[in-house]
Structure 1
């Protein structure tokens, strides 16, 4: 097993490290001062050795070397580190993919848009919210809240703000109906369900999940509208591209998909399997995990 791992490492980690170095030397890729691609890949390799598919088989045994290399390259080019919960490795059949988390999406958005800060707040019944629509965008939002209004059962919406370099503020606003519509596209949401199940993650931590959903939507609009043709943006767009629905139906993933942006997800993707009750470990994991609800990328040669 040790020899097998060494061979996989040589054909994946070492190949990716060489490719990243080429990108850097040619000026196609620039990392933040605090980011070490070498350390990120070391962390990823340790995580991959404990990653399994839905049948508890080691990912490094069942996944193709090309898909492992592609997953590692996707992670590094985006400047993300799995130990910081900025992304997760997911097994689809014999394909390994790297999917950004909520934290990873914020990190990439700050890097692409040079945003100073990304924040969110929940709106409750009794709150006062005033804003204007300027050139089709929400502007001058003012939110007044009384402490007594804070009640997870009385959430009526949430908003996210992204502060840009010149002080411009982008605001994304969602009603609770829109937030639930996003949640309803995930596997944990039963057909015909109209609100959170009592005791579920989205019930017990409704405020945090609402904020994560609206932040994800705000960030994705920046990423999707970017015209940057850099190596980094090509990999970001590659991760977000739409894939054939039938692939996920045929090859279910090893991870449950939770709390992400679902605008482009079709109804056929919704119920791959019947939802199941969450354990306490799964509830805690759901606070950290924000997988993109999409099918696996198509197999192909790395890079």
Structure 2
């Protein structure tokens, strides 16, 4: 072991008590995570150099592993140590966010998928997963045109959040890391080296606003918003967001007036797109409730008609 690595190794093992004090996931083992951290730094000479220059950042990163509750285990692909702006940061992958959402009970199941030009992607009914058909082994599926995240909540509801590639690139373009790359192509960033993963991660971060909240998921999202420069921060909003009553009333009225399940499905798809574009969470909740109420009423009427 080199002298440099030995110095950082001592720093990492000195974190044991701090790690245990904030441990959020009982299955995480300090010695295993410390070993993963050391392996990462041993295999990346630049990261090791940054770690030596900012030893406190290594301590902070190790502590963040415990407080957020994700592992550096490379087999799980949940989180990584990366050098960024002169310090070692804990980087959370989209898979880490999804695993966190499922393990904390925010959702029962979920996945993020890219949509290519040759794919067929359609939003379905109010509480149904989308339809996504593709030819995964085709030699040319065309360019990526969008991305979506679909989850199943503890109540059994399916929630789907789609984003066009243009929406994702607009977020990328606000990234300090991307701006630095544009100025100097030698300054590679995740938007260059891992574009597909960053596209999914962006969609997960946008979609989570509609999921039931848990403390650890909130902490992970807050960490990404404040400690990274990937461009994943949401546009600034006021401290107390105000819902648009016209938008909410229009789409809830359309849902209540639907006379068939097919008509309600059409209203759901159109209304969801409009409300997502407006980023109006209050309107979304009201619209979703109206759609579920109307669906229940239509199903009941259908059952009564069949019984008559």
What TM-score bracket applies, with the shorter chain setting the length?
A: 0.5 to 0.7
CA offsets, 1:236-284, max 9 Å, x none? 255223369xxx8xxxxxxxx6xx746449xxxxxxxxxxxxxxxxxxx
SS at match of 2:102: helix
Residue 9 of structure 1 is matched in structure 2 by: 9
Whether the 8 Å contact between 2:61 and 2:89 is mirrored in structure 1 is yes
Residue 116 of structure 1 is matched in structure 2 by: 109
SS at match of 2:142: helix
Give me the whole-angstrom Cα distance separating, in 2, the residues matched to 1:171 and 1:189. 32
Residue 72 of structure 1 is matched in structure 2 by: 62
Extract unaligned runs of 5+ from structure 2: 184-189, 237-308
TM-score normalised to the size of structure 1? 0.56
Give me the whole-angstrom Cα distance separating, in 1, the residues matched to 2:84 and 2:132. 46
Give me the whole-angstrom Cα distance separating, in 1, the residues matched to 2:121 and 2:206. 27
Residue 281 of structure 1 is matched in structure 2 by: none
SS at match of 1:98: strand
Of residues 152, 175, 178, the one that matches 2:164 is 175
SS at match of 1:242: helix
Whether the 8 Å contact between 1:90 and 1:98 is mirrored in structure 2 is yes
SS at match of 1:140: coil
Residue 30 of structure 1 is matched in structure 2 by: 25
> Structure 1 pair 188/69, CA: closer, same or farther in 2 (3 Å)?
closer
Residue 217 of structure 1 is matched in structure 2 by: 203
CA drift of 1:76 comes to 3.2
Whether the 8 Å contact between 1:31 and 1:79 is mirrored in structure 2 is no
After the TM superposition, which residues 134-283 of structure 1 pair with which residues of structure 2 at under 5 Å, given as runs? 139-140=127-128, 142-143=130-131, 145=133, 152-153=141-142, 155-185=144-174, 186-187=178-179, 190=182, 209=195, 213-214=199-200, 216-219=202-205, 221-222=207-208, 228-229=214-215, 232=216, 235-242=219-226, 261=232, 263-264=234-235
Residue 58 of structure 1 is matched in structure 2 by: 49
Greater Cα radius of gyration, structure 1 or 2? 2
Whether the 8 Å contact between 2:36 and 2:72 is mirrored in structure 1 is yes
CA drift of 1:171 comes to 0.7
CA drift of 1:190 comes to 4.8
Give me the whole-angstrom Cα distance separating, in 2, the residues matched to 1:21 and 1:184. 39
Compare the two structures and name the one with the higher helix fraction.
2
CA drift of 1:158 comes to 3.0
- Indicate the RMSD between aligned Cα atoms, in angstroms: 4.2
Whether the 8 Å contact between 1:179 and 1:214 is mirrored in structure 2 is no
Residue 95 of structure 1 is matched in structure 2 by: 87
Give me the whole-angstrom Cα distance separating, in 2, the residues matched to 1:94 and 1:190. 19
Residue 295 of structure 1 is matched in structure 2 by: none
Extract unaligned runs of 5+ from structure 1: 192-200, 249-256, 266-303
Whether the 8 Å contact between 2:110 and 2:149 is mirrored in structure 1 is no
Residue 19 of structure 2 is matched in structure 1 by: 20
Structure with greater contact order relative to length (CA < 8 Å, sep ≥ 6): 1
Whether the 8 Å contact between 1:130 and 1:143 is mirrored in structure 2 is yes
Whether the 8 Å contact between 1:86 and 1:104 is mirrored in structure 2 is yes
Give me the whole-angstrom Cα distance separating, in 2, the residues matched to 1:128 and 1:145. 7
SS at match of 1:117: strand
Give me the whole-angstrom Cα distance separating, in 1, the residues matched to 2:108 and 2:21. 28
